[in-house]
Amino acid sequence: MPVPFHRHELEPADAAAVADVLATPFLTSGRVGAAVEEQIAEFLGLPHVLLTNSWTNGAIATLLALGIGPGDEVIVPAMTFIATANVVRLVGATPVFVDVDPDTLMMMADGLEAAITARTRAAIPVHLYGQMAPMRALAAVAARHGIRLIEDAAHCFEGARDGARPGALSDAAIFSFYATKNVTCGEGGAIATRDTDLAARIRQTRLHGMSAGAADRFRGGRYRHWDMTRLGTKANLPDLLAALLPAQIARVEERRQKREALARRYREALAGFAPDLVLPAWVEGAKHAHHLFPVHVAPHMRDTLLARLTESGIGATVNYRAVPQTRYWRDFLGEERAEHDFPVATRWGEGTFSLPLYPSLGEAEQDEVIETLARILQEHLPEGA
């Protein structure tokens, strides 16, 4: 039985919500998106949420609103998706990579503190695979050094740790609603912040730097002039896509619990393969969003296992190669630093692959994944392992 890597959970009612938008003359950011922003703000218990057309553009709008640019450094983990570092470069600032914790693969407070210089303006911890980074410890370091904290919450809309959700302890948390994310509208994202002034600035940097969006320019039946007082990008989410979000947000906890049950089943079934196959540690007492289910094997076996799984009809992918190992960032850092400065992220990136994990994954499908992986592992592990 083939098992795809991903299956989205959108339903006919979501198509009807898009059709409702199509029946109006207004397709771009308007009333539908504003209502979703309120829904997310209520879900997170935060005062300000701004929808964006991707995590990436949301992060660029946030960095622009914070005035981060050339000459500034922003600390990012070496184990993440490339976008976390790319946005820093795209605004002209310099990403400073730090290696990650060997158990959870995330940025830790001591790694952050050691990387801070007089040029550091911000850090972007990543809630990798759906589990939150240690925000209380990271926020204490950020406060001590007067730097901004921006959470890369692309994997963690619905998680929590130490009594805090994304956005509660930082300047801003940024989410992704990309096609494979736990909450998706194909392409999209959101920024959540407690900071009223920052929210007002992002409202502008999200839309070219304009002082009024399309809906505001025509409010009350008369045209209002707008000005541009700061440089912005184009990061607003159209209502056509925002319409796909409300039903998913309403069911996000129910679906998280399905992900968690499946993740626990994987964990139990694969426990017997340790230490040849290892999983990231789950933080005790935290609410894990279980966005991805990565495993790690000896680097020399990884690509063979991936190929054998794919031949057997099991979808699997790599999340992620360490960012400093990609060609662009190797050139940027220099071979010597790229090769040696991030041993934990590099080794994880060379041996990891992710298994299918989504709420509609049936137990029979999951058993197929587990049995296929077990068979392939047994064939490839050394005799007696």
Binding site for ligand PLP (CB under 6 A): 54-56, 80-81, 83-84, 126, 152, 154-155, 176, 178, 189
Considering the complex, state which of residue 91 and residue 377 has its C-beta at the smaller distance from ligand PLP. Answer: 91
SS3 3: strand
Segment (H or E) for 94 = strand 94-98
Please choose, from the candidates 296, 251, 292, 241, the residue with its C-alpha nearest in 3D space to the C-alpha of residue 273: 296
d(CA 7, CA 215): 34
CB of 133 to ligand PLP, least distance (A): 11
| Adjacent-strand bridge partners of 330 | none
**Minimal distance in Å, beta carbon 292 to ligand PLP?**
9
**Rounded distance between C-alpha atoms, residue 176 and residue 153, angstroms:** 7
Which ranges constitute the DSSP H helices of 107-227? Answer: 109-115, 135-145, 196-205, 214-217
Compute the distance between CA of residue 375 and CA of residue 291 in angstroms, rounded to an integer. Answer: 25
Active site residue ranges: 181
User: Could you tell me which residues come within 8 angstroms of residue 169 by beta carbon, excluding any fewer than 6 positions away?
Assistant: 135, 136, 138, 139, 149
Closest C-alpha among 330, 232, 236, 302 to residue 33: 236
CB 301 within 8 A of CB 380: yes
Whether the CB-CB separation of 142 and 148 falls below 8 Å is answered with yes
Q: Which is nearer to ligand PLP, 22 or 179 (CB)?
A: 179
SS3 assignment, position 104: coil
Smallest distance, Å, CB 151 to ligand PLP?
10
Question: CB of 319: closest distance to ligand PLP in angstroms?
Answer: 7
Smallest distance, Å, CB 320 to ligand PLP?
A: 8
CB of 316 to ligand PLP, least distance (A): 16
User: What is the nearest approach in angstroms of ligand PLP to the Cβ of residue 359?
Assistant: 19
Cα 323 to Cα 96: distance, rounded to the nearest angstrom: 11
- Which amino acid appears at position 145 of this protein? H
Cβ nearer to ligand PLP, comparing 80 with 131: 80
CA angle 349, 357, 359 (to 5 degrees): 155
* 20 residue type, one letter: D
| CA dihedral over 113, 115, 121, 124, signed as positive or negative | negative
Is the CB of 126 or the CB of 377 nearer to ligand PLP?
A: 126
C-beta of 189 vs 356, nearer to ligand PLP: 189
Torsion angle (degrees, nearest 10) of CA 35, 242, 237, 77: 100
